[in-house]
Structure 1
Amino acid sequence: SHTAVSAEPPYTTGLTQKEADVIDAFDWGSVPGPVDYYRATAVRDGLRGLSHARGRMDAASAASLLAGGGIIHDHSGTVLPAAVPAAPILLQIAEKGCSGVQEAALELIANALDFRPWPGFVRTRGQVRLCCAIADHVHARAPALARFGDRSRRLLRAAREHWRVDVEEIHTEGTDTLVFGTMAGSLPVVPQAAELHFGGSVAGVSTLTMEYPAVEDHAQVCVRLTSTKLSKTHSGARLCNASCGG
C-alpha cells in the first residue's frame, strides 16, 4: 500500500490565502519604472518567493530579485515606484515569517526608504514622494514592528524622518495659520519646510514650526505655518516633510 503524502501548503509564512493572492492579482506591469531597470516579474516572483521562504537561503534568493530591479536597484542605490505597493505586502511577510525572512523584508523596506528615487519617478500618481508613501505603510504598522526589537529599529528610525500631519482644524493668527492635526513620524523642533497636499495638488510651505508637540506617536499636535494663509476648506489636507529625497 502507498502512504498518502499531503501537499506542501503554498504559503508557509502564515499569510492568509487572501493576502497571498494579492501578490499575483496585482498588475505589477502597470507600475511605472525606468526601462531596462524595472522588472515587474522580479517583484511578483520575489514577493512570492519570500512568502514561501523557510530560512535564510530562501529569503536571500527572493530578496535578490526584489533588490535587482524589483522594488530597488541595489547597484545604483535607487528606489523604484513598485516599492510603494510592495511595502505593505513585505510588512505582512515580515510579521509572519521566520527570522531570516523578517530580516530580509525589513532590510528591503529600509533600503527603499534610504535610496534616492530614479529621475522622473520621484512621486506616486497621487503626487506623494515615494519615500513618504513607503513610510506611511511603516507608520501604520509601527506597533507590530516594534515587537521585533533590534531587527526593526533601523526601519522605524528611518520612517520617523518622513513625518506627516493630517490636518483637522485650521485657525488664522495674523499672517500665520495654526494647524491642529494628528502627527505620524517625528517633526524636529527646528523650523522646517513642508509640502501641503490637498486635492491631488502640492503646494510649498516655507516655514513650519511646532507649537505644541505630540506626547506620543499618532497624537494631536499644533503647528504654525509662518506667513501662510489656509482656509478652513483645507481640513483633510496633509502636511509632509519637504526635505525628503527627490
Structure 2
Amino acid sequence: MAPDAVRSAGIKQLAEYSDVEVCSGHVREVGGRQGRFSVEFDDGRTVDARRVVLATGVKEDLPDIPGVAERWGRGVMGCPYCHAWEMRDQSLAVLATGGGADAMFAAQLTQWSTKITLCTNGTSDIDDEDVLRKRGVSVRTERVCRLEGRDGAVEQVVFQDGPPLRCAGVFLHATTRQASALPEQLGCVMLDDDSVRVDDAGKTSVPGIYAVGDLARRESSPSGMTFVVSAAAMGFVAATTINQELFLESLD
C-alpha cells in the first residue's frame, strides 16, 4: 500500500470512535508539563493534553541526482528487507551515498540476487573491497548523471563516461533527520543517529512526552530499523501505557 492509502485507511477506522477527534494542521509548539500540555497549531488553535505522543517521523537526505527523488520508494529503494524479495534474481544497482557502509550494503543484497553492481559515483576509494570480491559484486566508479525509466521504475543508470547500466532497480542507504523540530524544542534526549531516545514503553526523557515510529528507538535497538510494523507496535505499546497511566490517575 502507498503511504497515503495507509493513512487514509487509519483515519477512516478512527471515524468509528465517537470520542476521537482528528485535527488537521501543523503543530508549531508544545508547551506546559505532564498533565497540562498545550499544543499550538500554526493557525492559532490550541489543544490541551495530559500526554503527548510524537509520531512526526524522519526525512531522508537523498543524493541530488536527477531521477532519484521522483522514484524514491518505487524504482529507488532503501531497505532490502522491505523490497529485495520482490526484486530477487534481477540486476540491481547500489548507489553509494558516502556513508562508509555502501560496500557492505551492496554485499548484503547478494542474498537476493547475484547480479549486484555498486555505483560509487566518482569515488575510487572503496571500503571492504575484499567483501565485494567475495560476494561477486561488480563496481562502476564513473560519476552518475541520472536514472532513467518509465512510470516510476528504473531501467538504467546513466554515467558521465561509459555505457549505461541496465538494471531493474536501485538501492541506496539514505541518511535521515528528524522531520519536526518538536523533539529538540521539548528537550528530548537524542541518540547518536539523531533518533529520540525512548524506553520500552515509548517514554522520552521528558515526563509525559512519548515518541513512536522511525523518529525514535531504544538504545538497545539497532539503528535504522524503520519498519511500518515496528512503528505500529511502538504506537500500540505507548497507547496502552498512557491509557493505564490516565486510568490510575483517575482513581486518585
> Which TM-score applies when normalising by structure 1?
0.24
Larger Rg: 2
> Which TM-score applies when normalising by structure 2?
0.23
Structure number with higher relative contact order (C-alpha < 8 Å, ≥ 6 residues apart):
2
Of Structure 1 and Structure 2, which has the larger fraction of its residues in helix?
Answer: 1
